[in-house]
Structure 1
Amino acid sequence: MLTRPKNGWTHFGLEGFEYTYRLSDVFDNIAFRWVDQAIHGLETLAPFCVKGYMEPDRMICVVSYWNCRVFVEREQKEGSEKIRENSFGESHTSMIDFCRRLDEEVRANLDEWTSFGEYFNEYRTFEENRQLLVRKLEKLEALIAEREEYFTPRETYFHLD
């Protein structure tokens, strides 16, 4: 889903996408923001969006209950009427699977993700950012376990108790 960050870049892709999307650490702290969005999505059981800056375009991925859809938006309005061939993608990746993969991949490269876009956290040290990210991942992991039942094949709708 996300490649290991290297030199300020990562690639994002899901099964079913024809392309992978090269995302920069400029303007985005992907791990922190995507984990926050995933937590909110699982807390509310509502679709959520994650984004990435492609220099110059933006990739936006809508994570719904049973699918993920991506589109690329031009940075400027000029020329936006001309759609590029890699502007859209769809994957039959459910919200719970997206969250599970995000959790696994950020944990697998925790130090790299902690420093990816680190200038957004200029008031905290690397270790403080790392501990914050670990706490967020622990919350995400707990929500995955708690909400898993809503994503079984038998479920056709959601109820928040």
Structure 2
Amino acid sequence: MVDTDKLLAALRGLAGGVVDTSTLIYLERLELLPRVAGCVQLVLIPQVIAEFGGEIAGATLLATAPTGTTDQAVCRSASLLHLPVLSEDRQVLLAARRLGLGYYNTLMLLLALCARGDLPLAAYPQLRRRLSAFARYGRDILAVGDALFHALGAARPGG
């Protein structure tokens, strides 16, 4: 079972991370990429910029990244910079875990924005529905997201 309080504290403190192409695509599909880039530091490596097809306004660009596949370079860059990994790719997230890094998917990133006050909590249900229409999150991930959403609502005045 996930420690909701601990995860909420981590989400409130999330200042950014090294982002994978998959998360950029998801944020773009949700029409939130510029907003997220303005709220948290999105660190991009050259391989991700090439895969995504361009730079992101407000993102931090690394001139060089460690060698290896894009997935390996994302995790190695995050390790070198002491930042979490932002990805939808299960293998990337598992690699981040093995390296002892923090890791978050787009669902958790949305909740982080809500927890930090950068996104209205009322916007989350519709964004979750839209995200669930194309993201391949398991029931367990969605259940964690729902628990966090309810905890955030309960923590609000009148919640």
Larger Rg belongs to: 1
Determine which structure has the larger helix proportion and give its number: 2
Report the TM-score when normalising by structure 2: 0.33
Alignment TM-score, normalising by the size of structure 1:
0.33
Higher strand share: 1
